[in-house]
């Protein structure tokens, strides 16, 4: 892996982790384009940790408040939302025939279709109209957390955006746009950290002897900096109801990937 490739991957990870376009799907696509195989899992884990640091910094005040007063509703809802995510992830990874589907998805076989799923979720989120006034984080209910967590479970598939699916789930539940984005980004802390812990054994199994450490460090720094930018950008974008443009982008990308997989076979 070259430094240029590491910068591109870090840039894509930082932007796509928080913009609703799927960081895992973009990383899978770019690693396929670049022909990166050695240390792929470990590199991906470390890029995710770079974006984790970004969300910790942006939401440091909220996180400190949670640490000072851990027994509050927001803490409970974040933990509650994690439950369906974990159950769905286990279903995908451990239970047949879902595990077979998941392995093929992780190899990129359904990447185009998963990008189209992201588009459908974003369009639906823009069209949804909740009855009554939309609620903030202080008015969340357990059902909201479960719906958002289930949507995040769907986001474990490469090409299905985690941020897009959780924000869509929050909007479906009747939360306002600011609350949807805030809860999604706070929930990403658990998701990214937990995902990294689960992926570490696979990364170690692949071996670390051939890891390009300098490109890796540079990639992490780029992912961190672009993650900071992406979070702040998304917080502004969602207030202006502009999710449809991300839906258009992921739809076009998904269709191009499907065409390549079925006809051209340039990258797949």
pLDDT in tens, 205-235: 666 667 788 999 999 999 999 999 999 999 9
* pLDDT for 127: 84
Question: Please, what sign has the CA dihedral across residues 13, 48, 37, 252?
Answer: negative
Per-residue pLDDT at 110? 96
Please give the pLDDT value at position 112.
97
- pLDDT of 45 reads 84
Task: Please tell me which residue, 27 or 133, carries the higher pLDDT value.
Answer: 27
The pLDDT score that the predictor gives to residue 41 is 73
Is the pLDDT confidence value at 243 over 80? yes
What are the angstrom distances between the C-alpha of 166 and each of 40, 161, 223, 253, 267?
A: 26, 8, 21, 21, 30
Measured N-to-C along each axis, helices 98-106 and 73-94 cross at an angle, to the nearest 10 degrees, of: 90
HEC-encoded secondary structure of 153-165? HHCCCCCCCHHHH
Q: What is the mean pLDDT of residues 60-65?
A: 96
Q: Quick one: CA torsion of 90, 182, 133, 119, rounded to 10 degrees?
A: -60
pTM: 0.92
Instruction: Specify whether the CB–CB gap between 255 and 86 falls below 8 A.
Output: no
As a dihedral over the C-alpha atoms of residue 234, residue 4, residue 191, residue 38, rounded to 10 degrees, the angle is: 160
pLDDT for 89 equals 92
Radius of gyration of the chain (CA): 18
Mean pLDDT across the chain: 91
- The pLDDT tens digits for 92-131 are 989 999 999 999 998 899 999 999 999 999 999 988 855 5
């Amino acid at each position: 892996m070259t430094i240029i490739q590491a910068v591109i991957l870090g840039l894509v990870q930082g932007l796509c982790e928080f913009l609703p376009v799927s960081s895992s799907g973009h990383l899978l696509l770019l690693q396929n384009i670049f022909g990166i195989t050695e240390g792929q899992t470990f590199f991906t884990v470390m890029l995710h940790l770079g974006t984790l640091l970004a969300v910790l910094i942006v939401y440091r005040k909220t996180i400190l408040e949670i640490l000072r007063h851990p027994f509050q509703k927001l803490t409970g809802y974040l933990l509650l939302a994690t439950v369906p995510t974990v159950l769905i992830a286990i279903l995908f990874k451990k239970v047949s025939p879902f595990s077979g589907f998941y392995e093929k998805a992780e190899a990129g076989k359904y990447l185009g279709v998963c990008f189209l799923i992201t588009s459908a979720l974003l369009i639906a989120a823009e069209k949804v109209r909740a009855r009554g006034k939309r609620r903030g984080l202080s008015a969340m209910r357990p059902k909201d957390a479960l719906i958002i967590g289930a949507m995040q479970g769907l986001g474990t598939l490469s090409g299905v955006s985690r941020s897009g699916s959780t924000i869509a789930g929050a909007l479906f539940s009747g939360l306002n746009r600011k609350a949807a984005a805030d809860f999604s980004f706070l929930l990403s802390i658990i998701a990214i950290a937990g995902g990294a812990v689960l992926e570490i054994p696979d990364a170690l199994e692949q071996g670390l002897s051939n890891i390009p450490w300098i490109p890796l460090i540079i990639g992490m720094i780029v992912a961190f900096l672009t993650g900071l930018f992406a979070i702040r950008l998304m917080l502004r974008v969602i207030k202006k109801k502009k999710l449809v443009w991300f839906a258009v982008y992921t739809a076009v990308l998904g269709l191009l990937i499907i065409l390549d997989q079925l006809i051209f076979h340039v990258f797949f």
